[in-house]
Structure 1
Amino acid sequence: MGQIVGAAMVSHHPGLMQCEEFRRLQGAGEDSDLIAGYARLRAKIAEAKPDVVVLFDTHWFTTGYHLVDAGRQYSGMYTSDEMPWYLHGVPYDYHGHPQLARSIEAVSRERGGYNRAISHPDLGRQYPTINLVKHLGFEDPAMPVVTVSSCQNCEWPHFLKSGEAIGEAIARSDLRVLLIASGALSHKFNGIDWKPNHPRIFHESNVSRPENIASDKGAIELLRQGRHDQILERWDAEYRRLPWEAFGAHYLQMLGAMGGAACRTKGETLSAYENARGTGNIHMWFST
């Protein structure tokens, strides 16, 4: 019987792919703690000993289905169409796990859900996957990655249901699986002519709005306590309104796989809470 051996919400923002010198220049001499946080995450992952990673990608927007990438192997050179002036020429080479992807679709069909496996050699990559493949060391062929999309015409219960099918497919397998929710909390960008509130660009006070900072910190505390039920109770009134990146698809799918509102797995912060162009970012680990 398969099992989820760990889960994490992880920041992927493009600035983390810049050279250390430039990051320190932006950080007023102090680097982003999210970089140090990747090393802490790698240590947790090594302890968990997963066979495969299921990664929820907040930039792979799809319509009509939650898509599950069933490719066997991915290699190429990545250039972001969003920020090509500094996220370009990134080589990648990693493996997928077609069997798990197809099992997720089979379970979803049984349950009347909308997860569908797809394998196409020309399907593009997104940096929430590529950046974490690079930073977390998933290019080792022994660590396949199955990327899951964010279906944009869904309401939040649909994401929980997507995750439930993923959790059941994992349980029916013989795999040790790590879940990665790749994305931010509040995701309101600062305007192009915005002036920093703090000289350290990564500083939390540079997050776009004070109410977003307060909400993000409240959510982080609930995650620390394992009170996922309270986060769901506040979803429509707070976290959907602010909103979280991809309307929280990455967290909701991860949570659905871990038991939904009944989940009481406590989160451990592995980085400081930081700004990235106005968005709220943090790494959090959940030992399952």
Structure 2
Amino acid sequence: MGQIVGAAIVSHHPGLMQCEEFRRAMGAGEDSDLIAGYARLRQRIEAAEPDVVVIFDSHWLTTGYHLVDAGSEYEGSYISDEMPWYLHGVPYRYYGHPDLARAIEDVSRERGGYNRAIAHPELGRHYATINLVKHLRLESRSRPVVTVSSCQNCDWPHFLASGEAIGEAIRRSDLRVVLLASGALSHKFNGIDWKPRHPRIFHESNVSSPENVASDKHAIELMVQGRHDVILERWDDEYRRLPWEAFGAHYLQMLGAMGGADCRAAGEPLSSYENARGTGNIHVWFDLSSH
């Protein structure tokens, strides 16, 4: 019987792919703690000994289906069409797990859901996956990666259902799996002419609004307590309204796989809560080894 042995919300913001010298310049002499947080997260992943890592990619926006990448190997040089002036020429080579991707589709079809597997050599990459592959060193054949999209014409219960089918496919397998929800919490960008309130650009006071900071921090507190049910109770009134990146699809799909409102996996923050162009970012690890 397969098992989810760990999960995390992980920031992927592109500023983390710039050189340390530039990051320290942006940080008034300090690097982003999200960089050190990647090292802490690598330790948790290594200790969990997964056979597969599933990444919920909040930048892979699809229509009609949640797509599950069923490719066996990925190689190329990545350039971001969002900010190609500095996120370009990123070489990557990593491996997939077609059997798990197809099993997810099978379970979803049984349940009348919307997860579909796709394998095409020309399918584009997104930095919400590539940045994690690079920073978390997921480039070994022994640590394959399966990426899942965010279907943009779904409502939030559909994201939970997508995750539920993924969790069931994992249970029916013989695999140990780590889930990574790649994305921010509140996702309101500062305007292009915005002036920093704090000289350290990463500082939380540079997040788009005090309301978003307070909401993000309360959600993090609830994660630490394992009270995902309370987050779901407040979803329509707060987190969907603010909203989170990809309307929270990455978190909701991960949570659905972990049991939805019944999940009590307590979160462990592995980084400071930081700003990225107004968005709220953090790494939070959930240990599921005993669940």
TM-score (norm 2): 0.99
Equivalent residue of 1:177, what SS?
strand
Cα deviation 1:71-128 (Å, max 9, x = unaligned): 0000000000001011000000000000000000000000010000000110000000
- Report what 2:286 is aligned to: 286
Distance in 1 (alpha carbons) for counterparts of 2:153 and 2:126? 19
SS at match of 2:198: coil
- Matching residue of 1:96: 96
CA deviation after TM superposition for structure 1 residue 140, in Å: 1.1
- Rounded to whole Å, the distance in 1 between the matches of 2:5 and 2:263 is 14
User: Any gaps of 5 or more consecutive residues in structure 1?
Assistant: none
Structure-1 residue corresponding to 2:203: 203
Asked whether 1:184 is paired with 2:184, we answer yes
Give identity over the alignment, percent: 82
Q: Kindly report structure 1 stretches of 4+ aligned residues shifted beyond 2 Å.
A: none
CA distance, structure 1, for counterparts of residue 72 and residue 265 of structure 2: 32
Give, in angstroms, the shift of residue 149 of structure 1: 0.1
Q: In structure 2, the residue corresponding to 1:166 is in which secondary structure? A: helix
Amino acid corresponding to residue 175 of structure 2 in structure 1: L
Aligned equivalents of 1:276 and 1:54: distance in 2?
A: 24
> Corresponding residue for 1:155?
155
**Is residue 39 from structure 1 mapped to residue 39 from structure 2 by the alignment?**
yes
Q: Give the secondary-structure state (helix, strand or coil) at the position aligned to 2:142.
A: coil
Q: Secondary structure at the match of 2:275?
A: strand
Q: Which residue of 1 aligns with 2:253?
A: 253
* Alpha-carbon separation, structure 2, partners of 1:142 and 1:277: 35
CA distance in 1 between partners of 2:12 and 2:251 (Å): 14
Number of residue pairs the alignment of both structures matches:
288
**Aligned residue number for residue 165 of structure 1:** 165
Q: Which letter maps to 2:171? A: A
Shift of 1:141: 1.3
1:5 maps to amino acid = V
When normalised by structure 1's length, the TM-score is: 1.00
Give the residue type in structure 1 aligned to 2:246. Answer: A
How many Å separate the matches in 1 of 2:76 and 2:20? 24
Are positions 1:272 and 2:269 aligned together? no
Taking the aligned partners of 1:3 and 1:262, their CA distance within structure 2 comes to 17
Partner Cα distance (1:35, 1:99) in 2: 32
Which amino acid in the other structure matches residue 46 of structure 2?
A
Q: Distance in 2 between matches of 1:150 and 1:223?
A: 22
User: Within 2, Cα distance between the matches of 1:190 and 1:88?
Assistant: 23
1:32 & 1:258 partners in 2: Cα distance?
A: 29
Q: What is the alpha-carbon distance in structure 1 between the residues aligned to residue 99 and residue 15 of structure 2?
A: 34
SS of equivalent residue, structure 1 residue 168: helix
2:279 maps to a residue whose letter is T
The CA deviation at 1:188 is 0.1
Q: Secondary structure at the match of 1:80?
A: coil
What SS is found at the alignment partner of 1:121?
A: coil
CA shift digits 1:161-190 (9 cap, x unpaired): 000000000000000000000000000000
Distance 1:60 1:42 in 2: 23
Q: What SS does the aligned partner of 2:236 have?
A: helix
Structure 2 distance, partners of 1:138, 1:79, is: 19
Secondary structure of the residue aligned to 1:84 is coil
